[in-house]
Amino acid sequence: MIKEPLVLIGRFTRPYGLKGQIKVQWYVDTIEDLEAFSRFYIEDRKAIGGYKEISFLEIKEYQKAYVATVAGMEDRTHAETLVGKAIYVSEEDLPVLPEGEFYIRDILGCEVLYEGEVFGVVDNFFEVGPRTLFIVRMKSGKSLAVPYEPRYFVKVDRVAKKIEASHLAELL
């Protein structure tokens, strides 16, 4: 039984070799983070609930990419059926983070307060090397990329979906 809600954790990109392996783009900090999960899901219109569980036999890093072996994928033709499919885990399986750490999904949609006023809303993110930049859609409609650093993100209240920001003027 699939326990929703599900959280996007990766995406299959392209087959690798002839034996059913496939490259995966993971949305985790390290490959070791995947050890916290025992169940993975992909969309499947034929399955009850629209998702089916899959199992990884192996996930390894290879030349700055990740290559996975998925149970039941015996050759390149089978692996090609996964290309572009998103990989999910159950939200209840996410590890509890230490105080002061957040999942990106906790930050997205938060209202940003700056100098006591509503400045905008976090509506996207991207990563540049080891830095995460959140895109804040300002009240003016323009976007501002804000590094996820204590200098800019002073206080995050994920329950109230509010962020107290500082020093944003230097980014304008």
| Full pLDDT tens readout for the chain, 172 residues | 566 688 888 999 999 989 999 999 988 877 888 888 888 999 888 887 888 999 999 999 887 789 999 999 999 999 999 999 999 998 888 888 888 788 888 889 999 999 989 999 999 888 887 788 899 999 999 999 999 999 999 999 988 999 999 999 998 8
Residue 70's domain comprises 6-93
Q: Element (H or E) spanning 105, and its range? A: helix 104-107
Point out the domain boundary residue: 60, 93, 126: 93
143 within domain boundaries: yes
Residue 17: CATH number of its domain: 2.40.30.60
Say how many domains are in the chain. 2
- 35 with 108, same domain: the answer is no
User: 97: which DSSP letter?
Assistant: P
φ, ψ of residue 79 to 5 degrees: the values are -60, -35
Q: Is residue 61 part of a domain?
A: yes
Question: Is residue 99 assigned to a domain?
Answer: no
